[in-house]
Structure 1
Amino acid sequence: MVETFILNTDPLDSKELFEQLLEQVDDTRKEKILKLRTFTKQKQSLGAGLLIKKYVGDVHSLNKNGKPKNNDTEFNISHSGKYVVLTKGGTEPVGVDIELMQRGNKHIAPRFFTLDECVQIDRSYDPDKTFTQIWTLKEAFLKCIGSGVGKDLKRFTIHIDDEKIRIDNRINRNFYYFKEYDVSGYKLSVCSEDNRFAETLEDVTDEIFKLEETK
């Protein structure tokens, strides 16, 4: 089963809560957080550390592209805006990407996307939404196979037909599945060789921050 958890980092605007939870992550993560230049990135990194600690455990190593690995659980992290997401599976690799939808990205599509993908965007009733959807699907796939984010973007094509997603994959011969989850103002895509995706996205904000105890 491939499960995906989402965390809203807005509660970390509380300095007291931020500092309290900062002490709960390991020293390596803590050092990384404190080196980040913006508070938004610090919140995202702390959120990622908290999700990994709760749902994965120890991260034993990184692959050559910097993707964290655990000997028992395949997992992947992404963040954008106020959200951090973690996807985990069993032994099959997984990849996840979340992106805040923004206007005006259509013009950069030819730099990153194949001709077929650019045509899909041009024909869309909402080109910016379709651009972000294709972007997250492509990044989720690259992160699933362990490639560096942003690499090989034109070596495969994402096709979206009546909300059905398929991939023309020229990188390897494996078969991949995709799952999208609804997040207002964002696009969120998950990729795995395992097609057993959880039907719902699990919001764990209250659980991670213990907000219910203070309500």
Structure 2
Amino acid sequence: MVYYFDEIESLDEKFLNRSKLLLSQERMMKVDRLGNNRDKILSILAYLLLLYGLKKEGRDTSLMEIRYNEYGKPFLWNTDSVCFNLSHCIEGAACVISTFEVGIDIQEIRPVNDSILKKVCSQTEIKTIKAAINMDAEFTRYWTMKESFLKAIGTGIINDLKIITFDEIGKNQAYRLGYNINTFSEKRFILAVCTKGNIRIDLEKVSLDCFNKEFANC
């Protein structure tokens, strides 16, 4: 299940201060190290989405402990039955929870130029992107697919993204090495989810009211 939040402008100081009380010590230290205030907000939101999703799926979060593999991919230390991944961009935050290895990436749609295309995409991908009705959105789709795949396999970003290519199954679905990548388009951003095996992906847009109701007694 994917949970995402994009009502950034609706957040106020009161909500953010209360939200910090829900963070683990490790997450709070990570937030404090961020210099940009919007990045702090987005990092908090990504963690809240994880808490929200786990609670909604009936998981106990009281003993939740996040650790990281050698490449920096987070995992829940005290359970092997839940996999998750987090992502955020200036337009929102997202979290995916599954019983299989997963990766997620969310990116705002922004202008692309030939220099970026040549650095990130293969020649075949560049042709597809340039032929698209919305070139910026199509490039962002490929970018999120590559990042979500690398996050799913747990190795993190590599220097040459051009070597990560996909077999297209449909307009918003692709395949690579036993992993399925699904993309979802919004007006301001693209979201990609990579899963081991062909698993149905459901999305829930979380509102500020949802957060307030879920964490009202926290």
2:152 counterpart residue number: 144
Give the Å deviation of 1:98. 0.7
Give the Å deviation of 1:122. 2.2
Within the candidate set 204, 207, 215, 2:206 is matched to 204
Alignment of 1:38-57 (within 5 A): 38-56=36-54, 57=61
1:20 counterpart residue number: 18
Query: How far apart, CA to CA, are the structure 2 residues paired with 1:175 and 1:37?
Result: 38
Query: How far apart, CA to CA, are the structure 2 residues paired with 1:190 and 1:55?
Result: 16
Give the Å deviation of 1:181. 2.2
C-alpha change, 1:159 and 1:117, in structure 2 (3 Å) is farther
2:74 counterpart residue number: 68
TM normalised by structure 2 equals 0.83
Within the candidate set 31, 45, 70, 2:29 is matched to 31
The residue type equivalent to 1:41 in the other structure is: D
Query: How far apart, CA to CA, are the structure 1 residues paired with 2:182 and 2:106?
Result: 12
Q: Secondary structure at the match of 2:116?
A: helix
CA contact (8 A) 1:105 1:131 kept: no
Give the Å deviation of 1:161. 6.7
1:119 counterpart residue number: 127
1:93 counterpart residue number: 101
Task: Choose 102-111 or 34-43, whichever is displaced more.
Answer: 102-111
Q: Among the aligned pairs, what percent are the same residue?
A: 25
Task: Choose 16-25 or 118-127, whichever is displaced more.
Answer: 118-127
C-alpha change, 1:180 and 1:94, in structure 2 (3 Å) is same
Q: Structure 1 stretches of 5 or more lacking a match?
A: none
Query: How far apart, CA to CA, are the structure 2 residues paired with 1:23 and 1:139?
Result: 31
